[in-house]
Amino acid sequence: MLSSLRAGGELSLRGIVLGALITVVFTASNVYLGLKIGLTFASSIPAAVISMATLRLLGRSTVLENNMVQTQASAAGTLSCVFAALPALVMVGYWQGFPFLQTALISAAGGMTGVLFTIPLRRALVSESALPYPEGVACAEILKASSADSDSRSVRALAQGSLVAAVFSFLSGGLRLVSDGVSLSTSIAGAAFRIQGGYSLALVATGYLVGIGGGIAMLVGAAIAWGIAVPWLSLAGNPQHLAVDALATTIWVHKVRFMGAGTIAVAALWTLATLAGPVARGLRDALSVRHAATRAATDRDLPPLLTIGLGAALIVILSMLFAAFLWPQAPHGAILGAVLFGALMVTLLGFLVASACGYMAGIIGSSSSPISGVGIIAIVVIATLMLGLETLHIVPPVFSAADQHLAIAFCLFLLSAIVASSAISNDNLQDLKTGQLVGASPWRQQIALLIGCAVGALVIPPVLNVLYQAYGFVGTMPRAGMDATHALAAPQPALMAAIATGILLHKLDWDMIGIGALLGCALIVIDMMLRRRGRVMPPLAVGMGIYLPPDVSITIGFGALVGWMLARRRPAETHSETGIGTMLASGFIVGESLMGVLLAALAGLSGHSDLLAIASGDSTAAVMGGGLLLILIVAWFGKCVMTR
């Protein structure tokens, strides 16, 4: 361990410091973006590029050292996903701000459980799995390109793809000279129809790397959502007299996404059931001293005794946090049942959710994985079980007093830990895939991930407090007289608070979740029938196609179709790990990610997301220009793949 801390070692001191510095920037940027628009950027690839440039200047850098820096920084950047839950505690009036110790500890401890959960999942979902992990593969290609003996043709392709995507993203997301997507809406016989595609080279590249099976499944999900569910539900009428596109979007947000969440829940449980054997073997090996001692360094996790001890310590810390959270409101002698419930939820539900998120990251990448959809499933389970605890009188009556105020807040606090755990698992398996491709030591990566969780957790509370005091959240302002038009939308926290309140006050519409669950069962049967014929349609990917915004699902599906057509013409090279197609696609993800980081930093520093805009980006000319430019770039991509 100490010997590897030298410069150029796999886990070096300078790498840890660099990873911590990158962490501060990425965590702050992601928290701001998440609260403002509900989206974040994947931090693995930007961290890898920054690490390569910095360590090359310092000298004696290696691929493995760069990999550890991006592993640490990406974990911290991903931990910022707690923005989807923690602000809900302010929105429901339980917190007036974000207490540093509670916020930091729940983020760190929750994230660290995600690291431990992925130890038994690594072999089942990475080492022994054919999942594509598009972002993990792209990140590995970047790291390989940093080596002195890397293929110059591959490096050139990576650089070209990065430059093209960065320029395109700057034109659309920065200057707004061209649009970032196209949306068409119409009404037929009273039914609202809407189709939307995103002009995102990163999503096209993700689809290319995902492959035709996952891409078609996501297109099927988008067709179910926008071609069947939204039109059917819009026939119920339009009492608010909304425009067609607004009506379709409202129905999708408040109805159809819950159907997608139900589909994801059933599909995730089925997927986990099919992985039960490999996961059980991974858990056995992870906790077996004998197995750990006989494995090669590139297939060795944290020592079993350390894993067990750290896991026990985290459960104790989380239990103490739950007790401290309830202490001011509940009778001190009556909170044991609630604390045990919280520990059980974080352990059992947390592991299931982490497994589902890791699998979804393997299908479409961590940046497109629907963490908020998994959060919906988790809050539904937690709040429903909380009602059962109240019925059985396991928790004191104060939980249900004042319209379930304490019960709602406690459910949201538990959710924060589970979201942190699932977000880290979602990102961690991508990092472990990258490590597998470059020959890294999993146990060292796991140490870097734990460090990333600790550093990121220290950044989150002050960032949340600064943003809340500066802007406020829609419907919740810290001071009177503030301009509500500048308030942060915080869509995910508002949704989680609404779901918890709806369940505990018996006001939640369960119909769409139930329909989604039935659809998930049907999709499982269809997938089983297709597999007998050598084809697949993953139910989980269909559920994600329903839940994710249409521009994400459709654009990923488009990229998968591009890859399929190219593979039919030149199957030997198209999807190989060092093929030009993979390198160009990786470059697309790199360029758009780096430009996203830059634009996010400018927005965070200035407080304006349109600081560089010189046009609106939504004119007909901008939409057509963006679409034409995207088609030309994809045609160039195809020509490069076919001729090199």
Q: What is the pLDDT of residue 574?
A: 47
Q: Are 421 and 111 in contact (CB under 8 A)?
A: yes
Q: Are 408 and 364 in contact (CB under 8 A)?
A: no
Give the whole-angstrom CA distance, residue 443 versus residue 14. Answer: 19
Give the whole-angstrom CA distance, residue 379 versus residue 398. Answer: 20
Q: Are 517 and 263 in contact (CB under 8 A)?
A: yes
Q: Is 488 helix (H, G, I), strand (E, B) or coil?
A: strand
**Angle (CA) 458 22 17, round 5°:** 80
Q: How many helices (H) and strands (E) does the chain have?
A: 26, 2
Distances (CA, A) of 544 to 263, 446, 641: 8, 28, 29
Q: Are 434 and 139 in contact (CB under 8 A)?
A: yes
Token code pair at residue 118: 């992925």
User: Could you count the other beta carbons within 10 Å of the beta carbon of residue 202?
Assistant: 32
Q: What is the pLDDT of residue 2?
A: 42
Give the whole-angstrom CA distance, residue 608 versus residue 618. Answer: 18
Q: Is 289 helix (H, G, I), strand (E, B) or coil?
A: helix
Q: What is the pLDDT of residue 148?
A: 52
**Which residues have C-beta within 8 Å of that of residue 237, sequence separation ≥ 6?**
none
Total count of residues recorded for the chain? 644
End-to-end, the C-alpha distance of the chain in Å comes to 44
Say what the alpha-carbon torsion angle 268, 273, 275, 277 is, to the nearest 10 degrees.
160
Token code pair at residue 329: 């409101």
Token code pair at residue 107: 């983020």
Q: What is the pLDDT of residue 132?
A: 76
Domain ranges of the chain: 3-149+303-504
Give the whole-angstrom CA distance, residue 99 versus residue 87. Answer: 12
Q: Is 160 helix (H, G, I), strand (E, B) or coil?
A: helix
H or E stretch covering 182: strand 181-188
Chain Cα centroid distance, residue 173: 21
Chain Cα centroid distance, residue 21: 22
Give the whole-angstrom CA distance, residue 156 versus residue 364. Answer: 25
Q: What is the pLDDT of residue 525?
A: 92
Chain Cα centroid distance, residue 543: 15
Over the chain (644 residues), what is each successive 10-residue block's mean pLDDT? 50 76 72 65 68 74 78 72 85 89 93 87 75 77 65 70 90 86 86 87 83 87 93 88 88 86 82 69 59 60 85 93 88 82 89 78 65 79 90 85 88 92 82 83 85 85 82 78 69 82 86 91 91 82 84 87 85 54 78 72 66 80 92 93 78
Give the whole-angstrom CA distance, residue 419 versus residue 594. Answer: 25
> What's the DSSP call for residue 253?
I
User: Could you count the other beta carbons within 10 Å of the beta carbon of residue 17?
Assistant: 11
Give the whole-angstrom CA distance, residue 431 versus residue 358. Answer: 11
Q: Are 545 and 219 in contact (CB under 8 A)?
A: yes
**Angle (CA) 111 114 117, round 5°:** 155
Give the whole-angstrom CA distance, residue 128 versus residue 123. Answer: 6
Q: What is the pLDDT of residue 164?
A: 93
Among the listed residues 415, 119, 450, 123, the one whose alpha carbon sits nearest the alpha carbon of residue 314: 450
Helices (H), 505-619: 511-531, 539-547, 550-569, 580-606
Chain Cα centroid distance, residue 442: 21
Q: What is the pLDDT of residue 633?
A: 95
Q: Are 565 and 138 in contact (CB under 8 A)?
A: no
